[in-house]
């Protein structure tokens, strides 16, 4: 776990959560194009509302004690938990209070009709009125779609399931004109387009929910997807700055892990826009400076890291290409006090800057920091920087590099992780549970495994080694050589391994479909989900999979 003493910002306790529920009332409708599509009922919140004023939302609100006490007045599905039953009752009550829409069954099994609903008072407790009229709340028609927890930075926060239910036939929504106004049926895609045009204000969870909902062609398909009683996704978003504007992200999106590291309490303090002019502080003892070498293979550029502080001095990880301006900025960020230069591997966007960075230190009167790593293997491509790297000292698997000063220590443990390259290393900052993954784990793409220096069997074995290191050292975050910080380190590595094995299954299927085929013929089958312009690069990893498949077949 990251030391609190190394966090950049004082911790601020997020606002407490309130339990709530919201429901997406759905219907099938034929559009102008003659195609059937799902429509969802939305209303505009009051401009004086304390949460999301003026936004178009789904009906819903807080869960109260009467909701939990009304189970006997509701019909439930087999397998519907008490908690989900309470939430469904709250959503039914809120949709009735706000829009006059009632999901209920009459004693004869028919849905509640307009005549019966007219006898109910929207300002009075619903369950007692239903009991008097012999109605049962139709909680069995309400399914769990998603689970949202309000962002940590907001002053009012809710723990709220997003539920779905078919709109009862022969009912028309009528807003209460107090909390909700202007009920409207809208296709998810149309709502998103209107929002983008500035005509239909919706907040982040609503946007993301509509984005996913638009993939379903009918109400039945939505309900079928929700049959498990578990949310299709759960999210507590995080926010940062992107070119000076607030930007929010879910757990699966690339910046999320970085925001969790820099601002665990959710304060909006971190700029996410990529730039190369200055270092980006991630912790007090970790800075990232991205080299100006963006591209298909490097993403936004190669990340150089500085570990340490002014008292201990610094270790520079992956100085990058021999870009003198980048190296000058890296040297300045360390105050000139670089104690070690470590290259995770010898590829040309990682190691060529090591010698000029060392020379820069000497030029300014400092002792030459040793260049550390592993030498290029004989399998490295000839006549390239990948075949020419020779460190001043070869690091050993398991050894520790220490930076110390009175009262503080930063320890980097070396892990030999061949696979992407034979001489690839990862580094664990033990005190803070951080993994510097070089190119072994990236954010935004999977790394290329290019034989003969790359080896897929070794790559997957190294993933297992990293997974074990996460458990041993309490690693929560991965700092890659390309892309943002990754969170949920153990899950990230497991997902990466699963992805590799799934890809390998597609390669094997392609080989079986075309047993006399060539790699060029297998790539379109095994990488049909990858843009064709990337197939030449994908073919390298395909060959690594082929090599592993054939080795396993002979074992």
Residue spans of the domains in the chain: they are: 17-236, 274-496, 502-554
Mean pLDDT of 260-283: 96
CATH superfamily of 274-496: Ribonuclease Z/Hydroxyacylglutathione hydrolase-like (3.60.15.10)
| Residue 511 DSSP SS3 | helix
Assess whether pLDDT exceeds 90 at residue 344: yes
Angle between helices 535-554 and 489-513 (to 10 degrees): 80
Assess whether pLDDT exceeds 90 at residue 505: yes
Q: What is the spatial distance between Cα 22 and Cα 17, in angstroms, rounded to a whole number? A: 15
More confident residue, 528 or 179: 528
Assess whether pLDDT exceeds 70 at residue 382: no
Mean pLDDT of 57-75: 94
Assess whether pLDDT exceeds 80 at residue 153: yes
Q: What contacts 543, CB < 8 A, 6 or more positions away? A: 451, 519
Assess whether pLDDT exceeds 80 at residue 383: no
Closest CA to 446 of 491, 490, 484, 500: 500
For residue 470, how far is the Cα from the chain centroid? 19
- For 320-417, strand residue ranges (E) read 338-342, 371-373, 393-394, 400-405, 408-416
Closest CA to 287 of 235, 238, 337, 245: 337
Alpha-carbon torsion angle 204, 206, 207, 213, nearest 10: 150
In degrees and rounded to multiples of 5, residue 467 shows phi and psi of -60, -40
Overall residue count recorded for the chain in this entry: 555
Assess whether pLDDT exceeds 70 at residue 178: yes
Mean pLDDT of 147-170: 95
| Contact in structure between 39 and 27 (CB atoms under 8 Å) | yes
Assess whether pLDDT exceeds 80 at residue 493: yes
Angle between helices 489-513 and 519-526 (to 10 degrees): 130
Q: What contacts 423, CB < 8 A, 6 or more positions away? A: 345, 346, 373, 374, 375, 376, 377, 380, 389
| Contact in structure between 449 and 419 (CB atoms under 8 Å) | yes
pLDDT mean across residues, the chain? 94
Q: What contacts 527, CB < 8 A, 6 or more positions away? A: 503, 506, 534, 535, 538, 542
Q: What is the spatial distance between Cα 432 and Cα 415, in angstroms, rounded to a whole number? A: 16
Q: What is the spatial distance between Cα 540 and Cα 531, in angstroms, rounded to a whole number? A: 15
| Contact in structure between 15 and 156 (CB atoms under 8 Å) | yes
Mean pLDDT of 123-142: 93
Q: What is the spatial distance between Cα 44 and Cα 53, in angstroms, rounded to a whole number? A: 8
pTM of the model: 0.92
Name the strands in the sheet holding 408-416, side by side, starting at the edge strand that comes first in the sequence. 400-405, 408-416, 425-429, 434-438, 477-480
pLDDT at position 234, please?
97
pLDDT at position 385, please?
64
More confident residue, 176 or 345: 345
Asked if the peptide bond before residue 452 counts as cis, ω within 30 degrees of 0, the response is yes
Q: Which CATH class is domain 17-236?
A: alpha beta
pLDDT at position 32, please?
77
Closest CA to 408 of 307, 338, 335, 479: 307
Q: What share of the chain is helix, strand, coil (3-state, %, to 5)?
A: 30, 25, 45
pLDDT at position 388, please?
82
Q: What is the biggest distance separating any 2 CA atoms in the chain, rounded to whole angstroms? A: 92
Q: What is the spatial distance between Cα 353 and Cα 338, in angstroms, rounded to a whole number? A: 14
Compute CA distances 356 → 316, 328, 361, whole Å: 13, 10, 9
Closest CA to 291 of 277, 280, 302, 282: 302
Closest CA to 14 of 150, 161, 205: 150
Closest CA to 451 of 334, 367, 372, 549: 549
Angle between helices 188-196 and 204-213 (to 10 degrees): 140
pLDDT at position 30, please?
85
> pLDDT tens for residues 390-427?
999 999 999 999 999 999 999 999 999 999 999 999 99
pLDDT at position 386, please?
64
């Amino acid at each position: 776990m990251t030391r609190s003493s190394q966090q950049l910002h004082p911790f601020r306790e997020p606002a407490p959560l309130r339990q709530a529920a919201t429901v997406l009332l759905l219907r099938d409708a034929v559009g102008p194009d003659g195609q059937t599509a799902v429509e969802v009922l939305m209303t505009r919140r009051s401009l004086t509302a304390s949460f999301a004023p003026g936004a178009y939302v789904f009906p819903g609100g807080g869960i109260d004690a009467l909701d939990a006490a009304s189970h006997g007045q509701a019909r439930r599905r087999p397998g519907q938990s008490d908690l989900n039953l309470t939430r469904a009752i709250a959503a039914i009550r809120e949709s009735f209070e706000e829009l006059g829409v009632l999901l209920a069954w009459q004693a004869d099994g028919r849905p509640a009709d307009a005549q019966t609903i007219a006898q109910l008072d929207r300002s009075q407790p619903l369950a007692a009125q239903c009991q008097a009229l012999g109605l049962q709340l139709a909680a069995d028609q309400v399914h769990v779609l998603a689970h949202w927890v309000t962002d940590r930075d907001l002053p009012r926060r809710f723990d709220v399931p997003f539920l779905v239910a078919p709109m009862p036939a022969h009912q028309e929504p009528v807003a209460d004109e107090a909390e909700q106004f202007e009920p409207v049926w809208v296709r998810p895609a149309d709502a998103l387009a209107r929002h983008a045009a500035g005509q239909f204000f919706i907040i982040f969870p609503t946007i993301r929910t509509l984005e996913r909902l638009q993939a379903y062609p009918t109400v039945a398909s939505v309900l079928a997807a929700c049959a498990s009683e578990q949310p299709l996704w759960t999210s507590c978003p995080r926010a940062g700055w992107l070119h000076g504007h607030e930007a929010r992200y879910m757990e699966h999106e690339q910046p999320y892990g970085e925001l969790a590291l820099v601002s665990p309490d959710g304060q909006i303090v971190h700029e996410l826009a990529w730039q190369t002019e200055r270092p980006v502080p991630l912790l007090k003892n970790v800075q990232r400076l991205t080299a100006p070498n963006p591209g298909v293979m490097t993403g936004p550029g190669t990340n150089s890291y500085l570990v340490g502080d002014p008292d201990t001095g610094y270790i520079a990880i992956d100085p990058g290409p021999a870009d003198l301006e980048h190296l000058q900025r890296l040297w300045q960020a360390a105050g000139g006090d670089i104690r070690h230069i470590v290259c995770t591997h010898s590829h040309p966007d990682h190691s060529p800057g090591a010698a000029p960075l060392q020379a820069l230190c000497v030029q300014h009167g400092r002792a030459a920091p040793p260049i550390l790593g592993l030498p290029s293997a004989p399998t490295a491509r000839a006549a390239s920087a990948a075949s020419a790297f020779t460190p001043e000292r070869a690091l050993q698997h398991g050894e520790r590099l220490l930076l110390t000063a009175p009262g503080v220590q930063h320890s980097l443990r070396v892990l030999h992780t061949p696979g992407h390259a034979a001489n690839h290393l990862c580094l664990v900052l033990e005190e803070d549970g951080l993994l510097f993954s070089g190119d072994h784990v990236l954010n935004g793409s999977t790394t290329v495994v290019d034989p003969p220096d790359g080896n897929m069997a070794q790559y997957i074995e190294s993933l297992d080694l990293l997974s074990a290191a996460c458990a041993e050292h309490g690693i929560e975050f991965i700092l890659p050589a390309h892309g943002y910080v990754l969170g949920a380190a153990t899950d990230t590595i497991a997902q990466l391994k699963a992805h590799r094995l799934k890809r390998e299954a597609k390669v094997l299927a392609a080989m079986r479909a075309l047993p006399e085929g060539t790699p060029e013929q297998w790539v379109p089958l095994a990488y049909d989900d990858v843009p064709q312009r990337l197939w030449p690069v994908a073919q390298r990893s395909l060959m690594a999979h082929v090599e592993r498949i054939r080795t396993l077949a002979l074992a």
